[in-house]
Structure 1
Amino acid sequence: MIHLSEHFLKGRRLETLVENQTSYFMNNAAMHVFETHEQAKTVLLKFEQPVLASMIQGKKIMHLRDYESFDFLPGESLVLPANESMCIDFPEAMAKNPTRCLAMAISEDKIDKVLQFMNENMPKDSREDWGIMDYNFHFVNDRGIFQIIQRLLFLFTEDHPSKDIFVDNMLRELIIRVLQSNERKIYSNATLSIKSESRLTEVIRYIRNNVHKSLQVEQLSKIACMSVSNFYRTFKSELGISPVEFINNERIKLAVGLLQDPNRSIKDVYLDCGFESRSYFNRVFKTRQNLAPGEYQSKIKKSRLLD
């Protein structure tokens, strides 16, 4: 989980209790930390540049265009194109437990230069050019992206004569890693790719509301009023992954959040996420996070001790 330093918390000013904004500006990017200290609904926000938003603390409910709304939780990020309107709810924000989110707005000129570098030096196997995403990409931070965001948070707030150079280099790596993650589609962005009128909308909602329970494809196909074979084919066609992959993605997203609590045992976490065995949970988690659950939790504990 991304952490805000005591230096940052003591130095910023709270001028409003809803989406209080603390901003830092560099040559090619601006970093904004938003804090909300009371429950709120339908808060509107838009950036003129492409933005990477990363949850730090608490929970937001995001409403984007005409797609199904979704929970935005710590350990997750969201890439938005320029001038994308967001409508945000804060169902749990309070003074003692504020909702905090980091938004990194990056100049399109910087992104274009990185894309040019990638196309010249890192061509895709498909021979298609790398390009900026023209839609919303919602994903769980892998270890590399998490460390870059944490480092950028430090660099933006540091008083160093060369920090523009440091930030510029970190931004290039961040853009490359995010675009590569999007290309691999390790984490389902189905929240944002399935429109509200789809027959699968109710299935997606059911999975998210019952992710801690045993879920069977046969059960889900009945909710969609389809045969099992047609449901499986339609699901994979619309979302790009199988129903089981989607369920596991949702469970791992939940597990990432639960593992932020150092007092939770691994057994409690995998049972609360709907996994029936620790070995299967370990295998799925490590595939998506490149770390075993215990290693991930230890890393979170260590990073907090270093703050």
Structure 2
Amino acid sequence: MQLPESFFKQRRLETLVENQTSYTLENAALHVFETHKQAEHVLLQFDNPVLASMLKGKKIMHLKDHRSFDFLPGESLILPSDELMCIDFPEARENSPTRCLAMAISDDLIKEVITFMNDKMPKCDQREWSFLDYNFHFTNDIGIHQILQRLLFLFTEAHPSKDYFVNNMLKELIIRIMQTNSNKIYTEKTMDSSKDGRLSYIIEYIRKNLEKSISVMELSKKAYMSESNFHRVFKNELGMSPVDFINNERIKLASSLLQDPNLKIKEVFMRCGFENRSYFNRLFKRIKNVSPREYQKKIFK
């Protein structure tokens, strides 16, 4: 993400560690923090839930659950109200500062969006959406990246209607983050389908049958739902269609299989449920930004 020219014209450098430039609107405040020298154990805390997103450089985050991790550009972190962050800046330099945005969002707006999602975008099995009450660290997808880039521009722009513009962008951002979190839970955790309901069962079924032809009609029948309702509920909760989810899982499996030097590409795409190589190549490149052959070369060079 790039900071707009207006930011550099307006901001003042008053300290070399976590120099703060802030913009406050009706339902959110955006802060850009810049650090120009190495530092350790810098403390930071906000009254409202915060989205932190790295723009440049590297931080090491230490959170109250004793978890520490590298925080890098292209990544974001959701923190609940009053969460105390302890931050190290191992690589910050005067000519190469670390930059991070932190956006505090009002509880009222979050509650409004959650109410909307429960009303218009219900989860499967009557479970309700609720805001994240723990630290959620994730890589920005293209949708979230573009919203954050737009918000950087809107907050720094001198426009009479920017409160309205920002509120609309924040609502979309909250929905996308909630869906990203739901997707990550379903994707990364091994689930007991007897405990976690129909959608968990369907996702486990997809994973175990990637080599087979899987249709949305078949999945909807297994979920005891109409095809249209299944498609809607799946997309509402995971932020992508069932077909896109199946394709992502197949490419994830293909990425793993391509690391086996004894497997040919034909064997890989067939074991992942693809019927022809050209479609497999196109989809792999769209998701991984390289062809299967190029991916394999990088692994074995």
With the length of structure 2 as denominator, give the TM-score of the two structures: 0.64
Structure 2 letter corresponding to 1:56: L
Residue in structure 2 matched with residue 116 of structure 1 by the alignment = 115
Corresponding residue for residue 293 of structure 1: 289
Distance 1:97 1:64 in 2: 25
Partners of 1:139 and 1:188 within 8 A in 2: no
Task: State whether structure 2 residue 85 is matched by structure 1 residue 89.
Answer: no
Which secondary structure state, in structure 1, belongs to the residue aligned with residue 124 of structure 2?
coil
SS at match of 2:61: strand
1:148 has 2:144 as partner:
no
Q: Which has the higher contact order (CA 8 A, sep 6+)?
A: 1
Distance between the aligned counterparts of 1:62 and 1:98, measured in 2? 17
Check the 8 A contact 2:80/2:134 in 1, yes or no. yes
Give the C-alpha shift of residue 187 in structure 1: 9.8
Deviation at 1:188, TM superposition (A): 8.3
> Structure 2: 5+ residue runs without aligned partners?
190-251, 269-279, 292-301
> Matched residues in 2 for 1:105 and 1:24: separation?
11
Residue in structure 2 matched with residue 11 of structure 1 by the alignment? 10
Task: Give the direction of change, closer, same or farther, for the CA distance of 1:189–1:22 in structure 2 (3 Å limit).
Answer: farther
Alpha-carbon distance change, 77 to 63 in structure 1, aligned in 2, over 3 angstroms: same
Deviation of 1:126 after TM superposition, in Å, equals 3.2
Indicate if the aligned counterparts of 2:6 and 2:157 stay in contact, CA closer than 8 A: no
C-alpha separation between the residues in 1 aligned to 2:140 and 2:119? 26
Would you say the 8 A contact 2:18–2:34 is kept in 1?
yes
State how far apart, in whole Å, the 2-side matches of 1:14 and 1:159 are: 21
- CA offsets, 1:222-248, max 9 Å, x none? xxxxxxxxxxxxxxxxxxxxxxxxxxx
Q: Which residue of 1 aligns with 2:180?
A: 181
Q: How does 1:265-280 map to 2 (within 5 A)?
A: none
The whole-number CA distance in structure 2 between the counterparts of 1:99 and 1:187 is 33
Aligned to 2:297: none
The secondary structure found in structure 2 opposite 1:185 is helix
- The change in CA–CA distance for 1:188 and 1:76 in structure 2 (over 3 A counts) is farther
Corresponding letter in the other structure for 1:15: E
* Contact 1:39–1:92 under 8 Å retained in 2: yes
Q: Unaligned stretches of 5+ in structure 1? A: 191-251, 253-269, 296-307
What residue is the counterpart of 1:21 in the other structure? 20
SS of the residue corresponding to residue 132 of structure 2 reads coil
Deviation at 1:293, TM superposition (A): 2.1
Output aligned runs, 1:51-90, within 5 Å: 51-90=50-89
Q: In the alignment, which residue of structure 2 is the partner of 1:100?
A: 99
Distance 1:160 1:180, change over 3 A: same
CA–CA separation in structure 2 for the residues paired with 1:275 and 1:86 = 38
Kindly indicate whether residue 125 of structure 2 is the aligned counterpart of residue 126 of structure 1: yes
Runs of 4 or more off by more than 4 Å in structure 1? 186-190, 274-277
RMSD, matched Cα: 3.1
1:71-97 deviations in Å (ceiling 9; x for gaps): 000000000000000000000000111
Matched, 1:45 2:44: yes
> In structure 1, what is the Cα distance between the partners aligned to 2:188 and 2:85?
16
Structure 1 residues 134 and 290, CA, compared in 2 at 3 Å: closer, same or farther? farther
State how many pairs are aligned: 210
Aligned sequence identity (%): 62
d(CA) in 1 for partners of 2:119 and 2:109?
16
Structure 1 letter corresponding to 2:142? R
CA deviations 1:53-88 (Å, max 9, x no partner) are 000000000000133310000000000000000000
Partner letter of residue 183 of structure 2? R
2:245 aligns to what? none
Deviates more, 1:115-124 or 1:65-74: 65-74
Distance 1:65 1:8 in 2: 32
What is the rounded CA distance, in whole Å, between the counterparts of 1:14 and 1:189 in structure 2? 42
Where 2:126 maps in the other structure, the secondary structure is: coil
Cα drift, residue 8 of structure 1: 1.2
- Separation of aligned partners in 2, 1:43 and 1:126: 43
The alignment partner of 2:144 has SS state of helix
CA distance in 2, matches of 1:9, 1:66: 36
